[in-house]
Amino acid sequence: MSQGSTDQGPTDQGPTSHESPGDRVDEALAAEGRPTPDVVIEPDADRLARSVASALVARLAAAQAVHGTASVVVTGGGIGTAVLQRVADLVAEPEHAVVDWTAVDVWWGDERFVPADSSDRNELGARQTLVLPAGIPPERVHAIPSSDAGFDEPEDAAAWYAGELAAAATRPELMAPPQGPDASSRAVGGDGVLQLPRFDVLLLGMGPEGHVASIFPDSPAARDDRPVVAVRDCPKPPPTRVSLGFSAITSAEEVWLLVSGEGKAEAVARALSGATPLEIPAAGARGTRATRWLLDEAAASLLPRG
Ligand SMILES: O=C1O[C@H](COP(=O)(O)O)[C@@H](O)[C@H](O)[C@H]1O
């Protein structure tokens, strides 16, 4: 994996004309002094998917060495699904059998609130490409409810998923490690109870306008402090979704943004040069220990060189 690091991290925001939770995410992250994002550029989407897959297997193995289990948040989308396919290829190779897949918890960053068998479900791609081939046990697979799973409204599904996260947060092997006062307050509710388990790696795709999970620019979800939010009137179909909010995304130890294609180059450049999370939600996706922008050449084409 060719590796580079930029000093263009989105921590030096200028003053904003109005205050909103989206702006507060940015300010809180800057105040915590989170690590500057790394930028890794691969020649094309296929090589990007392969190198991310290898890095993900290594990261999950390292997490299991420390905690006994690993916890990953997966994403839908083209490159996100390609990465899971490449991980599944590695699962089939004995020399890469470094991860105990029976001890991996899988979460989703966002989901479409449509019937379970709809091809629009992010869940389907991840189940077919990785969950089934790797043999991850059903009790460790935490899908966001579909519209036919007994919830009439996406708000109910979001509240249920938030409950699942809070329940997992009490499992000793999934407890989040202590963080700084501001960061840990994201994982803890107003009642002082842990709301979020440990996420070792949180994978995100990014849309051409800079959306991550289902947090779109200048949308209610970008202004919502809750760990899980219902999304309505989404500009990209299907319009009704459930998404992790910034408070959950920024509680992850490592956030990896997977981006390929020229159509996303402008949003990548803006996210890494001071756009706010309200303007480009990807700019607000930061891990407590690391943020990695994993790009192909086309997606990186508008970044300043060197
Ligand atoms: O709608 C969504 O889009 C993003 C990006 O998808 P991509 O195909 O442009 O890479 C994805 O990350 C998200 O999970 C999905 O719901």
pLDDT of residue 239: 98
Percent of the chain with pLDDT over 90: 77
Cβ neighbours of residue 237 closer than 8 Å, sequence gap 6 or more: 120
Please give the sequence-ordered ranges of beta strands (E in DSSP) within 9-157, or none if there are none.
38-42, 70-74, 104-108, 110-112, 141-142
pLDDT of residue 305: 81
**Residue 140 pLDDT level (bands cut at 50, 70, 90):** very high
pLDDT of residue 244: 98
Work out which ligand 1 atom sits closest to the CA atom of 264: 9
Please give the angle made by the CA atoms of 196, 198 and 199, to the nearest 5 degrees: 105
Q: How far is the CA of 71 from the centre of ligand 1 (A)?
A: 20
CA distance from start to end of the chain: 17
One of 3.40.50.1360, 3.40.50.300, 3.50.50.60, 3.90.79.10 is the CATH number of 26-285, namely 3.40.50.1360
Question: What whole-number distance in Å separates Cα of residue 41 and Cα of residue 245?
Answer: 27
Averaged pLDDT for residues 54-68: 96
Work out which ligand 1 atom sits closest to the CA atom of 236: 1
Q: How far is the CA of 33 from the centre of ligand 1 (A)?
A: 28
Dihedral pair phi/psi, residue 37, rounded to 5°: -60, 145
Q: Taking the model in full, what pTM does it have?
A: 0.89
pLDDT of residue 276: 97
Q: How far is the CA of 191 from the centre of ligand 1 (A)?
A: 33
Averaged pLDDT for residues 21-47: 84
Question: What whole-number distance in Å separates Cα of residue 153 and Cα of residue 232?
Answer: 10
Question: What whole-number distance in Å separates Cα of residue 255 and Cα of residue 83?
Answer: 15
* Residue 8 reports pLDDT greater than 50: no
Residue of 78, 77, 60 lying closest to 69 (CA atoms): 60
pLDDT of residue 154: 98
pLDDT of residue 227: 97
pLDDT of residue 21: 60
* ipTM of the prediction greater than 0.85, yes or no: yes
pLDDT of residue 183: 47
Pocket probe mutation, ligand 1, options 107, 108, 122, 296, max atoms within 8 Å of Cβ: 122
Distances (CA, A) of 277 to 6, 20, 190, 271: 19, 10, 24, 8
Contact between 166 and 193 under an 8 Å Cβ cutoff? The reply is yes
Averaged pLDDT for residues 129-137: 95
Greater confidence, 54 or 178?
54
Residue of 83, 11, 23 lying closest to 218 (CA atoms): 23
Please report, for the chain, the start and end positions of each structural domain, with discontinuous segments joined by +. 26-285
Q: How far is the CA of 186 from the centre of ligand 1 (A)?
A: 24
Residue of 128, 77, 134 lying closest to 100 (CA atoms): 134
Work out which ligand 1 atom sits closest to the CA atom of 258: 10
Residue of 208, 274, 287, 279 lying closest to 246 (CA atoms): 287
Question: What whole-number distance in Å separates Cα of residue 185 and Cα of residue 245?
Answer: 14
* Residue 194 reports pLDDT greater than 80: no
Dig out the tokens for 148 from the structure.
């036919």
* C-alpha neighbours within 13 Å on the C-beta side of residue 1: 21
Q: What is the mean pLDDT of the chain?
A: 89
Q: How far is the CA of 65 from the centre of ligand 1 (A)?
A: 31
pLDDT of residue 178: 62
Dihedral pair phi/psi, residue 258, rounded to 5°: -105, 115
Greater confidence, 269 or 13?
269
Any residues with Cβ below 6 Å from ligand 1, and which? 75-80, 110, 122, 205, 207, 214, 236
* Residue 4 reports pLDDT greater than 50: no
pLDDT of residue 189: 63
pLDDT of residue 20: 58
User: What b/e readout covers 16-31, taking b as 16+ CB neighbours within 10 angstroms?
Assistant: eeeeebbbebbebbee
Dig out the tokens for 173 from the structure.
């092997």
Residue 30 is which amino acid? A
Q: How far is the CA of 111 from the centre of ligand 1 (A)?
A: 10
Which residue's alpha carbon is at the smallest distance from atom 10 of ligand 1? 77
Distances (CA, A) of 180 to 174, 176, 284, 292: 18, 12, 18, 20
Percent of the chain with pLDDT over 70: 86
* Residue 112 reports pLDDT greater than 90: yes
pLDDT of residue 29: 75
Work out which ligand 1 atom sits closest to the CA atom of 205: 12
Averaged pLDDT for residues 121-126: 96
Work out which ligand 1 atom sits closest to the CA atom of 234: 1
Q: How far is the CA of 170 from the centre of ligand 1 (A)?
A: 30
Q: How far is the CA of 181 from the centre of ligand 1 (A)?
A: 32
